[in-house]
Amino acid sequence: MTSELYRLSATEVLQKTTAGEISVQDYAASLLQRIKARDEAVEAWAYLDSAYVMEQAKALDAIPASERGPLHGVAIGVKDVILTKDMPTQFNSPVYTNNAPKIDAGSIMILRKNGALILGKTTTTEFAATTVGSKTKNPHDPGRTPGGSSSGSGAAVGDFQAPIGLGTQTGGSVIRPGSYNGIYAFKPTWNAVTREGQKIYALILDTLGFYARSVKDLELIADSFAIFDDVPAPADFNVKGAKFAFLKTMVWPSVGPGTSAALGKAVTLLRAHGAEVEEISFPEHLNDLPAWHATVLAAEGRVAFLPEYTTAKTQISPQLVGHVENSDKITRKAQLEAFDKISAARPIVDELLGKYAAVLTPSVPDEAPLGIQSTGSAAFCLIWTALHTPVVNVPGFQGENSMPVGISLVAPRYHDRHLLSVSQKVGEIFEAEGGWRRSN
């Protein structure tokens, strides 16, 4: 039925538009109906113009079949820290209310050229840099956070308001909302995707990532952004006989019962399907990775927010003011030490991860916490952001309150397509047998 088209994955949309079974206009209208029905409960959008969405859809339908791009008609929600030439980019900040630069970010240029339907701008925390939640609520329980700072994109994809969402991660802002909203989230290798035209918090941490409800859709997006490995990923990866590891990391004391149980069940399921799974740990000299990340974040943040501090100090949050004013608390020596120690850690961790098909590790401490004032903890994610490795959140498990809990799969840098291939097969198992089911 036309009214149910909003449930289609990006891959299914392409199949149906290519076959002439549906028009982009029919599909867009169904998405807009879904958004209208659910917007009061979820509030995932910072900006959405229904008339303009339909105008784009009509233009896409008019393109001859031979000239259509590989993302023809696929609707995408864009985190509101990424520039869009035909929509405002407001960063959830009063400094930029109704701000509308007439330029697309590099990522949006690529998506448009490939035929994507840019649906609207999704909510974010202030400059994607604070831990104070936006207006957005978790689609599975409006009393809980959808995570942050990519709150709107995660919630929109989790609620069938868009098949693809763009997020950014400096600590855990792609993977955490993926877990909280019960969807796949992909943080590629750092700098594998252009960041031109998006607000930067920390240049050596920020990574553009993606949300979807299937790995096939993530692979579709990876194709569009020319993400590839030196060695092509196997087309026939089989969990049976594969070697995995699970890694609790140095922040394991922060884990809650939901994630602890999910990780245990994930290991059990993989072994039941014929995989070998062993427990590993980081070398002890890497135990300060979270502290090094915090130093880098603060040092980079004072550079990133000096413009707003200089021109509109009273209009930005105390957290961002603190980044600038507390700069003397981090010496240049400490800053360089953190930079260098993280850099030295990366090849060591790559070698460790490279021994396995993938390494399982927590995405979050537990299911989404109550309240939308805070976006939850990034403790388990920030390690991998600092290390620049690709990460996929795989859904399928649940916590004590029947909310989704995901597990992260991690691989060495620039093994992104390999990781997606593995995540496809692992995801099939976790979704079928992990115990969590979408209720909407």
Q: Which residue has the tokens 């942050």?
A: 148
> Measuring CA to CA, how many Å separate 86 from each of 47, 82, 93, 123, 225?
11, 12, 19, 17, 22
Q: What is the DSSP letter of 7?
A: G
Q: Would you say the C-alpha torsion 201, 202, 203, 209 has a positive or negative sign?
A: negative
Strands 117-122 and 75-79: parallel
Residues forming beta bridges with residue 118, ordered by sequence position = 76
Alpha-helix runs per DSSP H in 354-415: 382-387
CB-based contact 298:321 (threshold 8 Å): no
| Structural tokens at position 224 | 């569009």
Measured in whole angstroms, the distance separating CA 292 from the mean position of its chain's CA atoms is 22
Q: Which of 406, 340, 411 is nearest to 367 (CA)?
A: 406
- Which residues are the active-site residues? 79, 149, 173
- Any idea what the Cα angle at residue 367 is, between residues 362 and 371, rounded to 5°? 135
> Measuring CA to CA, how many Å separate 114 from each of 50, 221, 226, 263?
21, 10, 12, 38
Query: Can you tell me the distance from the alpha carbon of 296 to that of 221, in angstroms, rounded to the nearest whole number?
Result: 30
**Can you count the helices (H) and strands (E) in the chain?**
14, 11
